[in-house]
Amino acid sequence: MLDFVLHRAKFLDLVKSNTIIPALKSFSDTLLFYYIGHMAMAKSHGSLFEIGVGGSTYPMLDLSSLHQRPFTVVDMDRSRLMEYTNKNLFPESVTQTHAVSSLQLDNLGLDNLCYCHLDGSKDYKIALNDLEYCTKNLSINGLICQDDYGNNKWPTISDATQHMISTGQLVMLVVGDSSAWLTRPEYYDHWMEFFSTDKEFTHLAQFVNMQSSKNLHKLPNYFYMQSPTPGFDLPVVEDDVIDYYNQLLEFDHADYLQMPYRGQSMPGVQFRTTWAYRLQVHWKDFAGDNWPRLPPVTKQDIDNLPDWIKSELIDLHQITDLYGKMHVLADTCVKHTQVD
């Protein structure tokens, strides 16, 4: 069983209880934002950094609290800084705020940044300045999350990001709905090996419908999110993975950004499961020639089975718990009745 990171995220519970507002990202991007940030903390000894406060500040505060790392936040609006860095919600966070323009970053004396979130000015020169500053001050294996990458409303952000890639200063790792995760070229192999082998990231990538760019013939390879295609076939997944999807869906919130398609930020909804009696699911595997054609669906159905069938199930098939239940994918069980 996986030791799930996302299921323990405090900020998700706070969003679910309407205590804080969701990040202005899709639900998929929000999950990636926190988990990738968590792994950046685990694999580097640097600090957190953010330009432009908002709903995404809360998962950053959560990460600061969890890992006890300094978190520096820059925004020109002092009132917004105070609003989004309220210590009452994350009292263990180690936070410093600066109500300055990001063009004044050199005056802050920061370095060794292991996870940077850039959601500041959409002006091309300022966005490029922010990227260059973080790239210059990244810690070993540090990561940058660039917000609004791929957002048609702000093409300047994509242009600035692509300039950093084309000049060899950064390399792409992951592209979400409207966010991109990048690192310096010397750390690329480390992260691609991690993304290819980490078990929770593998499950998360499947949940948000993420693919490798190998099928686009893009080099170097990266991971990107794509919208579900019509007739999308559910993969065969293990019970713990189904449980993982379902628990994540419990944290979804209507106020998360929906872009570009509502279904894209909730592909995991196709993995919703229900509980069914094990006899119902495996009836065709047990049933003999003289058994009822339809499986028992309710507890009363099981009670009403002839004693000789119950005995055969127990003695021959070793079914010690006739009322045992199991998770099943939605719509895979018999549809003519409901499980009680």
Query: At 78, which helix (H) or strand (E)?
Result: helix 78-84
- Tell me if 335 is assigned to some domain: no
Point out which residues pair with 329 in neighbouring strands.
273
* pLDDT number for residue 263: 45
- Tell me if 209 is assigned to some domain: yes
- Tell me if 340 is assigned to some domain: no
Q: Same structural domain for residues 164 and 48?
A: yes
- Tell me if 336 is assigned to some domain: no
Output helix, strand, coil percentages for the chain, rounded to the nearest 5: 45, 15, 40
At residue 164, does pLDDT exceed 60?
Answer: yes
Q: Same structural domain for residues 234 and 279?
A: no
* pLDDT number for residue 234: 52
- CA 135, CA 126: separation in Å to the nearest integer? 14
* pLDDT number for residue 335: 37
- Count of all residues that appear for the chain in the document: 340
Query: At 118, which helix (H) or strand (E)?
Result: strand 113-118
CATH number of the domain to which 216 belongs: 3.40.50.150
Last residue of a domain, one of 265, 298, 314: 265
- Domain around 152: 6-249+260-265
- Tell me if 1 is assigned to some domain: no
DSSP 32-59: HHHHHHHHHHHH---EEEEES-STTHHH
Confidence of residue 236 (pLDDT cuts 50, 70, 90): low
Q: Same structural domain for residues 282 and 221?
A: no
At residue 44, does pLDDT exceed 90?
Answer: no
* pLDDT number for residue 327: 64
At residue 223, does pLDDT exceed 70?
Answer: yes
Q: Same structural domain for residues 213 and 320?
A: no
* pLDDT number for residue 319: 87
Q: Same structural domain for residues 103 and 230?
A: yes
Domain tally, the chain: 2
The residue-averaged pLDDT of 178-195 equals 95
- Tell me if 294 is assigned to some domain: yes
Q: Same structural domain for residues 204 and 325?
A: no
* pLDDT number for residue 233: 52
Q: Same structural domain for residues 58 and 156?
A: yes
- Tell me if 299 is assigned to some domain: yes
Q: Same structural domain for residues 235 and 321?
A: no
- What are 45-84's pLDDT values in tens digits? 899 999 999 999 999 999 999 999 999 999 999 999 999 9
Query: At 194, which helix (H) or strand (E)?
Result: helix 188-197
Q: What percent of the chain has pLDDT over 90?
A: 52
The residue-averaged pLDDT of 234-256 equals 78
At residue 232, does pLDDT exceed 50?
Answer: no
Last residue of a domain, one of 234, 265, 296: 265
Q: Same structural domain for residues 297 and 161?
A: no
Q: Same structural domain for residues 137 and 10?
A: yes
Q: Same structural domain for residues 42 and 142?
A: yes
Q: Same structural domain for residues 161 and 209?
A: yes
Decide: 300 and 322 in contact? Cβ < 8 Å: no
- Tell me if 198 is assigned to some domain: yes
* pLDDT number for residue 181: 97
At residue 241, does pLDDT exceed 80?
Answer: no
Let me know if 215 is exposed, middle or buried by CB neighbors in 10 A (0-12, 13-18, 19+): exposed
* pLDDT number for residue 64: 95
Pick the more confident residue, 77 or 270: 77
Decide: 55 and 24 in contact? Cβ < 8 Å: yes
